[in-house]
Amino acid sequence: MAHARIGRYEVLRKIATGGMAELFLAKQVGMEGFEKVVAIKRILAHLAHDDEFINMFRDEARIVAKLSHPNIVQIYDLGKSEDTYFIAMEYIPGRNLSSVSKKARRMGEKLPPEYIARCIAQACEGLHYAHTRRDIDGKPLEIVHRDVSPQNIILSFSGSVKLVDFGIA
């Protein structure tokens, strides 16, 4: 059975669906056995013709593509497939801070303060980088995330912290 495709990416499975977009695990396949695993964020069908939302989505891709920092998700591609836009980005195996915190509470545990401080410090490093980023001519990009929340801070299984979802930056 053939896998579904989004643009040049082969969808492996759906990761999540939110109010405005859905997220897929996918891979880009190239020559000589080249493969790159990515996350694909695709606009939901009912928003695919909402010009204001489409512009915000495209802006997110353009803004984050200008950022290269270990605490900010990397954007690889902006595309359009089957009449809807998508963003191909770094896949971060891990969980968001919100779900980690909720699981700890359900288990009757608290996250250690030094762990929380480390997560917040790394998120702040990414935010500082974005806030102070300049273009190639030295002009400030004036990027402000505007949706820093536990669900937009990803804790990777390898120990890194990444900011995601610059959708309203």
Q: Which residues are catalytic?
A: 147
3-state DSSP of the chain: CCCCEECCEEEEEEEEECCCEEEEEEEEECHHHCEEEEEEEEECHHHCCCHHHHHHHHHHHHHHHCCCCCCECCEEEEEEECCEEEEEEECCCEEEHHHHHHHHHHCCCCCCHHHHHHHHHHHHHHHHHHHHCECCCCCECCCCCCCCCHHHEEEECCCCEEECCCCCC
Within a 10 A sphere around the Cβ of 106, how many other Cβ atoms? 8
Dihedral over Cα of 68, 90, 149, 168: its sign? positive
Q: Are 112 and 100 in contact (CB under 8 A)?
A: no
